[in-house]
Amino acid sequence: MAKSLQIAVRELKPELLSDYLSFFDKAFSDFPDWAGCYCGFYDTPDSDWDATPNAGPEHRAARSERITHGKAHGLLAYIDEKPVGWCNAQPRASFVNMRSGRDWELLKHIRRLTLKQDSERFHGRKRTTRDL
């Protein structure tokens, strides 16, 4: 019989900054194009977004600032008190870099809660809540 997972979901608050950063420091290590985003693309005006591969530290600092000042919103998922997932949950109007209806459709798929790798529980595969 399979063991069920207990997932706790917490609203992002400034006191969870270190959990958010520790999740995103590793979340897309297998997909370098997204590894430095820190889920800030849609919160950053298009003219301010640096899409170059070396922009990760800048994005990390910008997200830290937004979270510290309560300007970033979303949900963190935890298993055994470790951050394992993120959902950028906020009003649609808050996404300042939403450029087209196509972006909105893409975002609906991306913002599903994504669980990072956990080799003991997930055999090294990424999972989403649909898989649980």
Q: Provide DSSP, 25-92.
A: TTTTTT-HHHHTTTT-GGGS-GGG---SGGGHHHHHHHHHHHHHTT----EEEEETTEEEEEE--S-G
- Confidence (pLDDT) at 119: 35
Given a contact cutoff of 8 angstroms between Cβ atoms, the answer to whether 76 and 22 are in contact is no
Q: Establish if 2 belongs to a structural domain.
A: no
**pTM for this predicted structure:** 0.73
CA atoms lying within 13 Å on the CB side of residue 77: 19
| Backbone torsions φ then ψ of 8, nearest 5 degrees | -100, 135
Average pLDDT, the chain: 78
The whole-angstrom separation of Cα 74 and Cα 26 is 18
Rg for the chain (alpha carbons), in Å? 15
Once rounded to an integer, what is the mean pLDDT over residues 95-117? 55
Once rounded to an integer, what is the mean pLDDT over residues 57-79? 94
Q: Establish if 122 belongs to a structural domain.
A: yes
Return the higher-pLDDT residue of 57 and 100: 57
Containing domain of residue 94, as a range?
8-131
Q: How many domains does the chain divide into?
A: 1
Band of pLDDT at residue 100, cut at 50, 70 and 90:
low
3-61 per-position pLDDT tens digit: 788 999 999 999 999 999 999 999 888 888 888 989 888 888 777 888 887 899 999 99
- Structure tokens of 53? 């591969």
Does position 123 have pLDDT exceeding 50, yes or no?
Answer: no
Residue 75: which of 103, 112, 105, 35 has the closest Cα?
112
Does position 88 have pLDDT exceeding 80, yes or no?
Answer: yes
Q: Establish if 44 belongs to a structural domain.
A: yes
- Structure tokens of 104? 């909105």
Q: Establish if 1 belongs to a structural domain.
A: no
Does position 105 have pLDDT exceeding 70, yes or no?
Answer: no
Once rounded to an integer, what is the mean pLDDT over residues 75-96? 87
